[in-house]
Amino acid sequence: MQPYYFYRVNNWGHILNLLHKSLYAEEMVCAMSSELFHIPKTKNLKGNREMHNHLVPASYHRVTAVGSSQRLVNGEQQQSIVETLVACIKNAENQDKKVSEGLITMEENASPEFKTFIKVIIKWQEQAESYLNQAKEAL
């Protein structure tokens, strides 16, 4: 981890914007994949429940990263906020790996009529990961 003075020179607003975009994409992943539980043909789709076991903590870490970043934008300067932000980005990344694996399993096991829908979820997940990575790089 970089010393605190390194983080102080960053544009927190830019990082917050990237994290908001990542969270928005994650919202789409959550909404769409959760919908599958309420469609008779996909309610027991292989991979979905397992994927959600990682999607929930990934979402939590994104929310916490956004909140931490917002606090920094608002002028708070505690090192512990920066440490929380960095840890949450790393934790979300780790969970994202299993989310992506679960989405692949879902796509492989879905009936043809749902494959396109799941591919859209995968694209949203890729966006969530991309913006999260950009935020990490901006640190």
Q: Whole-prediction pTM value?
A: 0.91
* Tokens 């992943």 -> residue: 29
Residue 10's pLDDT band (cuts 50, 70, 90): low
Do residues 26 and 58 touch, judged by C-beta distance below 8 A? yes
> Is the predicted pLDDT of residue 66 greater than 50, yes or no?
yes
**What's the average model confidence in pLDDT over 21-27?**
98
**CA distances from residue 13 to 8, 71, 100 in whole angstroms, order as listed:** 12, 10, 28
**What's the average model confidence in pLDDT over 35-59?**
98
**What's the average model confidence in pLDDT over 99-123?**
98
Percent of the chain with pLDDT over 70: 93
